[in-house]
Chains A and B, each alone.
Chain A
Amino acid sequence: MISLPIINFSVIYPEIIILVTAIAVLIADLFIKGDRRAPISLIALAGIIMAAFAIHAQWGANVSGFSGAIIVDNYALLFKYIFLVGALLTLFLSVWYLQREELFSGEYFFFILISIVGMMILSSSNELITAFLGLEIMSIPLYLLAGFDKGKLRSNEAALKYLLMGAFASGFLIYGIAFIYGSMGTTNFDEIVRALSSDSLDTDPLILIGISMIVIGFAFKTAFVPFHSWVPDVYTGAPTPVTAFFSIAPKAAGFAILFRLLTVAFSPIFVNLSTMLWVLAVLTMSVGNLIALTQRNIKRMLAYSSIAHAGYILVSLAIGTSKGTEAGLFYLLAYTAMNAGAFGMVILLGHKGEDDLTISSYGGLSRRHPVAAATMSLFMFSLAGIPPTAGFIGKFNIFSNAISAGFIWLAIIGVINSVISVYYYLRVIITMYMKPEADSVTTVTYPPSLLVAIILAAWGTLHIGLFPNGWLLFIRESVVGLYQAL
């Protein structure tokens, strides 16, 4: 007879709410047919709002559950907010697009919601196997979303390539976990910290192999150079709102676990990992920016630019202090707003079939649609890091923290990179304002749901840029508990 433990379900209330919503969406899809399926998205919306209230109720808690597998602290809750905002924006971006491309179905929302469940578990997991399974629950719906446009070869190929690279990364991840388990006898983060700080003599090489392989596994998912080869094709082949989702939520989830794993669980041996992170950060920033320079397709350009932005956040990870983590999370918040906005504009300015998404097709946009051109410029300015936008404050934070922590070269390389990046963001703006009108600019309609998403993103971009103090305090409040135990 086994003695069953006390199960504290309250620690996973937000996850349960989203999971139940996902299943409700799937069942509703069975009964509602044809063109009357738009209310399905409202069910998903209701679920996301309810989950946000559940997270709000948990704010300030610091409890663990399920034998230490899950921990609920402000750090995890902040990330859960980011995922929900990502899902919310994706929802608003998707509805009109799905109707335009005749792809509307309940499974789409089911996959988005289940993926969010995986990310939430990932951000609050305090144990490697739970993190591994959370990552898989996040990833498998993402593969399916990439291939959601079943009739299109490009979409099929994107999904298969994403799946093969993702499964390859999982192989590294589980092998690394095996080494950590074997050399330390535990996979729980608290016990790992305790074991690592007690024997300070000589770090077991197996631990170093293990953690390196785990980092490689997550590097594939978060698309660090040189593990980025899948990104441009997957981002280009997937439906555009899905691409927006890919560039926001899974990236945040990857960083959620990397920050917790490297700067908390493996903090006693962080010095040994710092060089590796340094190299990854430099490669990711530089390669992402340099290739983005040459891109003609707006989705491909945004794909490479998202790699470069991951590089800036990696700089804050390489710093490894609580200040660095704060700067990284702030940048993630800013990045979520501005990148969602940029993709929203790409959807707005696109047309059915998405055959032509070159930057040159935006020529002369300012004359025909001045508001759209101005909004697109706002997001491009923010991505380039020009004041008074969110991107500027975010970059400033990261690089000033890097300098004060002694990573001067990293900061210099980062600043050079963000100067390079100005070129390709400005090219979009110049095309819109200076170039003659392109033939392919068709009539732009303004569907309300898409406008909501773009207005939200624009508000976020400007508000974070103009009034950063409130946001910085909010982030400090969420990070402070993470490093208290150390």
Chain B
Amino acid sequence: MSLGLAHFLVLSAVIFSIGVIGVITRRNAIIVLMSIELMLNAANLALVAFSAFRQDPDGQIFVFFVIAVAAAEAAVGLALIMLLFRNRKSINVDDFNLMKW
């Protein structure tokens, strides 16, 4: 058995699902943010696998954009976490008085 596209897609689906589980089950805002990074990484893996499969560089260009988006989201998210922590001294999502999921 040799290496094929399906291997990469299943791996990326597994990582994506772990990220989704992390977002749903974890209560710490920083870890939720990291789980979202996992999801984006899984998407990147799928994009690169498809790009290699199709012998087409477009998929890798998309990865470039996804990384830019992830960086922007992480910067704003971490700034918000800092602000919230400064105002409240806790980043536990359940401590938010309005956070009823």
Contacts and interface: CB of A to CB of B under 8 A. Distances in A.
Interface string A126-158: 000100110010001001100100110110111
Interface of A: 129, 132-133, 136, 140, 143-144, 147, 150-151, 153-154, 156-161, 163-164, 167-168, 170-172, 174-175, 177-179, 181-182, 185, 187, 229, 233, 236-237
B98 A164 contact: no
Nearest to B85: A156
29 contacts: A129-B62, A132-B65, A133-B65, A154-B98, A156-B84, A156-B87, A157-B98, A157-B99, A160-B29, A160-B80, A163-B73, A164-B23, A164-B33, A168-B23, A170-B40, A170-B69, A171-B19, A171-B36, A175-B42, A181-B50, A181-B58, A181-B62, A182-B9, A182-B47, A182-B54, A185-B54, A187-B58, A233-B99, A236-B98
A150 B100 CA distance: 21
A168 B70 CA distance: 11
A264 B87 CA distance: 47
Given A171-B40, A174-B66, A181 B76 contact: no
Bin the interface of chain B by size.
35 or more
Contacts of B43: 171, 174-175, 177-178
A164 B39 contact: no
A161 B53 contact: no
Interface string B9-31: 10000001001100100000100
A229 B65 CA distance: 28
3 A-B pairs with least C-beta separation = A182-B50, A171-B39, A178-B46
B57 to A, nearest CB: 12
Contacts of B54: 182, 185
Interface in B71-101: 72-73, 76-77, 80-81, 83-84, 87-88, 96-101
A161 B32 CA distance: 11
A167 B98 contact: no
Given A133-B69, A158-B98, A182-B46, 15 more contacts: A140-B76, A156-B84, A156-B87, A160-B81, A163-B73, A163-B76, A164-B32, A164-B33, A164-B36, A171-B39, A172-B39, A178-B62, A182-B9, A185-B54, A187-B62
A236 B54 CA distance: 47
A174 B69 CA distance: 11
A172 B35 CA distance: 13
A296 to B, nearest CB: 15
Nearest to B72: A140
Given A171-B39, A171-B43, A175-B42, A144 B62 contact: no
Contacts of A229: 101
Contacts of A159: 80
B83 to A, nearest CB: 6
A346 B65 CA distance: 40
Contacts of B29: 160, 164
Contacts of A164: 23, 29, 32-33, 36, 77
A153 B88 contact: yes
Interface centre among B42, B69, B99 (most CB of A within 10 A): B69
A242 to B, nearest CB: 15
Nearest to B61: A129
Interface in B42-60: 42-43, 46-47, 49-50, 53-54, 56, 58-59
Contact of A167 (B59, B73, B101): B73
Contacts of A158: 98
B66 to A, nearest CB: 6
A190 to B, nearest CB: 16
Interface centre among B23, B33, B36, B49 (most CB of A within 10 A): B36
Nearest to A130: B65
A171 B69 CA distance: 11
Contacts of B84: 153, 156-157, 160
A157 B97 CA distance: 9
Nearest to A163: B77
A168 B80 CA distance: 16
A427 B100 CA distance: 25
Interface centre among A168, A179, A233 (most CB of B within 10 A): A168
B88 to A, nearest CB: 6
Contacts of B33: 164, 167
A343 to B, nearest CB: 19
Contacts of B80: 143, 147, 156, 159-160, 163
B30 to A, nearest CB: 10
Contacts of B32: 164
A136 B69 contact: yes
